[in-house]
Structure 1
Amino acid sequence: MSHDHDHDHTPVNFNRAFAIGIVLNLAFVGIEAFYGWRVNSLALLADAGHNLSDVAGLVLAWGGALAIRLVPDARHTYGWKRATILAAFANALLLLVAMGGLAWEAIGRLMSNEVSLRQQGVTIMLVAGVGIVINTATALLFMRGREHDLNIRGAFLHMAADALVSAGVVVAGALTLWQGWTWLDPVVSLGIAAVILWGTWDLFKQSLHMLFDGVPDHIDPQAVHDCLAALPGVTQVHDLHIWAMGTAHVALTAHLVMPLGQADDAFLNATTELLHDRFEITHVTLQVVKVPFTPSCVPVPDKDKPTQAKSCPV
């Protein structure tokens, strides 16, 4: 068994980014809701509701980011890293529900012919313009963490999508003012819902997959199997498991069948480093046996598939 090595897995601290993002977006929600109510703009009111759900999403993501720093104990030996997956899933679910409500309201307004007043186009444009600035600034706070942490990626995507949504509202306000297309306001709301549903679906699928201990998308289990099978003295890789402990932490357990004897600490340490460097697997537990003595929980990988084993020797 080996999982101690020199790489630093301390999560990047985004506390300041979360705090700034929450304060900015709460302020903007108040502004947007007030002017949406004043000018009877569904696009502004809907976007205010969406931004409020994003505040809730940021709070969830922040809670998840804080939870992974809690020290493991005898009852929670892996710590609380899975909280980041739960936060990402709740974030995606919250957005899907909010956008469903937005689409329903927009369709209802179109069918009832209830539209915004043409003369309010300037107000809509100015308020949404503020949203572009706030949402872009908030998205930039999370940009550096979006590639390696699904939880942070969820926060980044929400803010980036909001900036695009606000830009769409500006365009709708301009066209309403210029052409008198008062029907455009609920149509833009439907467009907002479609864009965000499209962007959120992948986050929802990934987080749900990880909740059920699925192999993270960036890891090819066949390549991991072939890499371990190519190690000196290994004749079989048995009972291989790969799963996400959190949105930025991956665990692996496996039995390595080595008939000629046990591996030493140098072998285990080198293998752990290899799995980290090539696959970003951060917690490795290996059991070395001469013959497999437990039934495998997963199917043996297809040996007819091309192997990458030659690139993985220790």
Structure 2
Amino acid sequence: MTHSHDGHADVPKRYDKAFGLGIALNFGFVLIEAFYGWKIDSLALLADAGHNLSDVGGLILAWAALAATRLQPNDRHTFGWRRGSILASFINAFVLLIAMGSLGWEAFQRLQAPVAIAGVTVMLVAGIGILVNTITAWLFISGSRNDLNLRGAFLHMSADALVSVGVLLAGALYQWKGWNWIDPVISLVIAVIIVVTTWSLFRKSLHLLFDGVPDQVNLPSIRQYLLSQPGIIDIHDLHVWAMSTTEVALTAHLVMASLPDSDQLLRDVAEELREHFEITHCTLQLERDLGCSSGCNGL
């Protein structure tokens, strides 16, 4: 039997600074938005300040999950706390979908009874929101390509930037045309766009929570590769799952007509799985063919 892994595949530590800066910027914006909402007696701004405060919580959650992936395994948690990053990405996606549902419902209600808005003040606050959320989203854009946890943070901030753009546009059109209905209409459009873009994150993170095979892993190709190795005549108990949003594990029993005298085959297979199939941690066991498939109930 052999084990192979290439460490914790740590997300670069520079994201610690990104989370710290993003949390500080967004909390500062919450204070600004709450102040102006109180000053002009705008329930919309006060409600959005509450929404942005939940976004700060989402960033803190994602940062905590990032820190959890660095905790060393122990006798109680033999894989460490790496799965925390998957859980955080799922929670962020779920919260974002709920928030957009609430935004859509509020917009629908306002369509029934449009209200006047303080156009200039709303535009000013929205402009600050665009700047803050765009900067924060930019901090995570590179990591979002390969890490669902960072993708959750990126989508959260991108969604807020898009909402702020909509608020700015609504304020401008209200000042120009006096359209009370423009604010809820733009809000509905934005909510639909964000739900569509967030659904993939929600689906993928839920899939990984239930030990689904990560999308980037082609299991039939792995099975074909293993069966192509000299001496391997069958495979059973082949399992692939995500240990975190950046690490994939594999276990398999390889059946051979006769067992080799060295571990070279295992080392070669483990290296190939890591280099070409993105398997960061694998456990392989060789078994001699006894002409019996008893207990081979895996894949």
| TM-score normalised to structure 1 length | 0.87
Aligned to 2:147: 149
Aligned to 1:31: 32
The answer to whether the Cα contact below 8 Å between 2:5 and 2:282 also exists between their aligned partners in 1 is no
Deviation of 1:29 after TM superposition, in Å, equals 1.6
- Letter aligned with residue 254 of structure 1: A
User: SS in structure 2 opposite 1:216?
Assistant: coil
- Letter aligned with residue 58 of structure 1: L
For the aligned residues, what is the CA RMSD?
2.0
Is residue 11 of structure 1 aligned with residue 31 of structure 2?
no
1:27-47 deviation per Cα after TM superposition (whole angstroms, max 9, x unaligned):
112222333454465664454
Deviation of 1:5 after TM superposition, in Å, equals 5.5
Aligned to 2:109: 108
User: SS in structure 1 opposite 2:19?
Assistant: helix
- Letter aligned with residue 202 of structure 1: S
The answer to whether the Cα contact below 8 Å between 2:8 and 2:70 also exists between their aligned partners in 1 is no
CA distance in 2, matches of 1:277, 1:47: 46
Inter-CA distance 5–207: structure 2 relative to 1 (3 Å threshold): closer
The answer to whether the Cα contact below 8 Å between 1:263 and 1:288 also exists between their aligned partners in 2 is no
User: SS in structure 2 opposite 1:103?
Assistant: helix
Inter-CA distance 11–3: structure 2 relative to 1 (3 Å threshold): farther
The answer to whether the Cα contact below 8 Å between 1:116 and 1:185 also exists between their aligned partners in 2 is no
The answer to whether the Cα contact below 8 Å between 2:274 and 2:280 also exists between their aligned partners in 1 is yes
Is residue 276 of structure 1 aligned with residue 277 of structure 2?
no
The answer to whether the Cα contact below 8 Å between 2:235 and 2:253 also exists between their aligned partners in 1 is yes
The answer to whether the Cα contact below 8 Å between 2:103 and 2:188 also exists between their aligned partners in 1 is yes
Unaligned runs of 5+ in 1: 299-314
CA distance in 2, matches of 1:297, 1:52: 46
Aligned to 2:197: 199
Q: 1:74-85 counterparts in 2 under 5 A?
A: 74-85=75-86
CA distance in 2, matches of 1:104, 1:205: 23
User: SS in structure 1 opposite 2:239?
Assistant: strand
User: SS in structure 1 opposite 2:2?
Assistant: coil
1:41-68 deviation per Cα after TM superposition (whole angstroms, max 9, x unaligned):
5664454333222211111111110111
Point out the more displaced range, 91-100 or 257-266. Answer: 257-266
Unaligned runs of 5+ in 2: none
The answer to whether the Cα contact below 8 Å between 2:6 and 2:280 also exists between their aligned partners in 1 is no
Q: 1:1-314 counterparts in 2 under 5 A?
A: 1-4=1-4, 9-13=9-13, 14-39=15-40, 44-111=45-112, 113-117=113-117, 120-262=118-260, 264-291=262-289, 292-298=293-299
The answer to whether the Cα contact below 8 Å between 1:73 and 1:79 also exists between their aligned partners in 2 is yes
Pairs aligned (count): 295
The percent of aligned pairs where both chains have the same amino acid is 56
Deviation of 1:144 after TM superposition, in Å, equals 2.0
1:279-309 deviation per Cα after TM superposition (whole angstroms, max 9, x unaligned):
21111000111225522233xxxxxxxxxxx
CA distance in 1, matches of 2:231, 2:65: 41
